[in-house]
Every structure is written in structure tokens, then in C-alpha cells.
Amino acid sequence: MLKQKKKNPNKMRHLIAKLNPSSPVTEQYRTIRTNLHFSSVDEALSSVLVTSAGPGAGKSITAANLAIVYAQQEKKTLLIDADMRKPTMHYTFRLGNLTGLSNVLIGESPLEQAVEATGVDFLDVLSCGPIPPNPSELLASRRMKEVLEHAKTMYDFIIFDSPPVLAVTDAKVLANIVGSSLFVIRSGETNIEEARRGLETIQDSKAKLLGAILNDVPKTNQSYYSYYG
Ligand SMILES: Nc1ncnc2c1ncn2[C@@H]1O[C@H](COP(=O)(O)OP(=O)(O)O)[C@@H](O)[C@H]1O
Ligand SMILES: [Mg+2]
């Protein structure tokens, strides 16, 4: 994934796939979408977890842009902010965060009422909701499995944002439920040893690791961008 221009004075997050569908960066998100499509031979892929070794790798920006290019294909898409440690999707899509995944998981709110439209056709977001004291426990619950199964009846594709695997067990726990994962590495920032440990951790889950995404590659290295597979 190429470096994106930083022109966000108000810290609002710039979603390139929404604002500039024909840019080379958006094209790379579409390539990832295509690769995901062909990664599942027997059964169409219906959900994926996006994670990384440490914080700041670009999980959330990747999950959001990927969700947009799925929705642009007119696939009903749900982006779930399951980073209950540092949720960001409500900022990214300028949504409320009073009700979200945490409320749905404790049975306080039905999924249908907690999801929000984003202004991008075919894309809804389930923000994190109030941060609970016990995220791993909630994410590992039977209720989480039920919520995902229910979401699958409402949407064609579900993308989960998550906390980093080396920090807390949440992503690994969630990967077991979601079944497929993508691992984001940030060029020039993610330490190789950490990336290796992060990959081992996520491979240790029951989820199928679909691939790694090399994010924020300097433009001069264009031929190396967007590793996948
Ligand atoms: N390819 C990129 N180009 C420019 N900025 C990026 C890129 N990837 C991530 N960022 C920025 O880096 C910060 C961390 O990204 P984020 O997606 O929030 O990481 P994570 O969710 O893994 O912690 C954000 O401010 C994001 O906008
Ligand atoms: Mg994040």
C-alpha cells in the first residue's frame, strides 16, 4: 500500500477509497479485494479480521478502505470496530459511539439498531460502543459467535478491525471466531522480529491467515508495494 498524502489538518481521517476511487492507492485496495475473492476456493469468503503485531501499523485505515471497496462493488458490507482498546471507526466515519459492539455483546441492543449508515452506499459500521472493562472475555463469548452469524444473514461481507496481537489476546480470540485474518505490516516501522512474532501468534489461532499487507511503502519503491499472499 503506497504512502498516502498527509493533508488532514483537522485530524479527520482521510478515506482515500471514498474520496478518490481512481487513485493508485484505491486500486491497490481493490487488488486486495480481488485476491481475497480468489483466496477461498470452496466457500465464498464472508468475514475477515484485520490485525497487526503492534499499534499504528495501519489496521484501521486498511479495514476502512477495504470495507469501502467492497461496498463499491454493491456488496452489503459491515465494518465492525472490535478494537475495544483503542476504537477509531466512529471518528473515521464521523459516527456516534454511544451504542456499538459492546452493547450488542451484552444483549443490551439488537444489532439492527446498533449499526449505522456511513454515507457510503452499501456500507454500515458497528462502532465499538462504550469501552468495557473485559474486552477479551466479551469477544470470546458465545454471544460474539451468535452476533457474527446474525450479521452474516444481513450482510454479504463483514470486516473486523482489532487490537494488535502482541498487546492483548483479543485479536487471537476473535480470529478463532471470524475464521480468516489479514496481517498488516507498516513499511519502515514494524520491527521484523515483532512482525514474525505477531504472525506466529495469529497463525497459532484457528483462523486461516489469508495474507499480509505491506502498508505505507514509499512511492520510490512502487514495484514493491502491496505484497500479498
Ligand atoms: N499508508 C499510509 N499513509 C499515510 N498515513 C497512514 C498510512 N497508514 C496509516 N496511516 C496513518 O497512521 C496512523 C495509524 O494508522 P491506523 O490505521 O490507525 O493504525 P492501527 O489501527 O494499526 O493502530 C493513522 O493516523 C493513519 O491515518
Ligand atoms: Mg486501529
User: Can you give the pLDDT at residue 42?
Assistant: 80
User: Can you give the pLDDT at residue 223?
Assistant: 45
Ligand 1 pocket mutation pick from 25, 32, 61, 86 by most atoms within 8 angstroms of CB: 61
User: Can you give the pLDDT at residue 41?
Assistant: 78
Strand, coil or helix: 178: helix
In whole angstroms, what is the distance from residue 90 CA to residue 14 CA? 13
Q: Which residues of the chain have pLDDT under 70?
A: 1-12, 220-229
Strand, coil or helix: 124: strand
Residue for grid cell 514509499: 218
User: Can you give the pLDDT at residue 9?
Assistant: 43
Residues near ligand 1 (Cβ within 6 A): 1, 3-4, 13, 52, 55-61, 88, 215-216
pTM of the model: 0.92
User: Can you give the pLDDT at residue 8?
Assistant: 46
Residue 219 burial (C-beta neighbours within 10 Å; 0-12, 13-18, 19+) = exposed
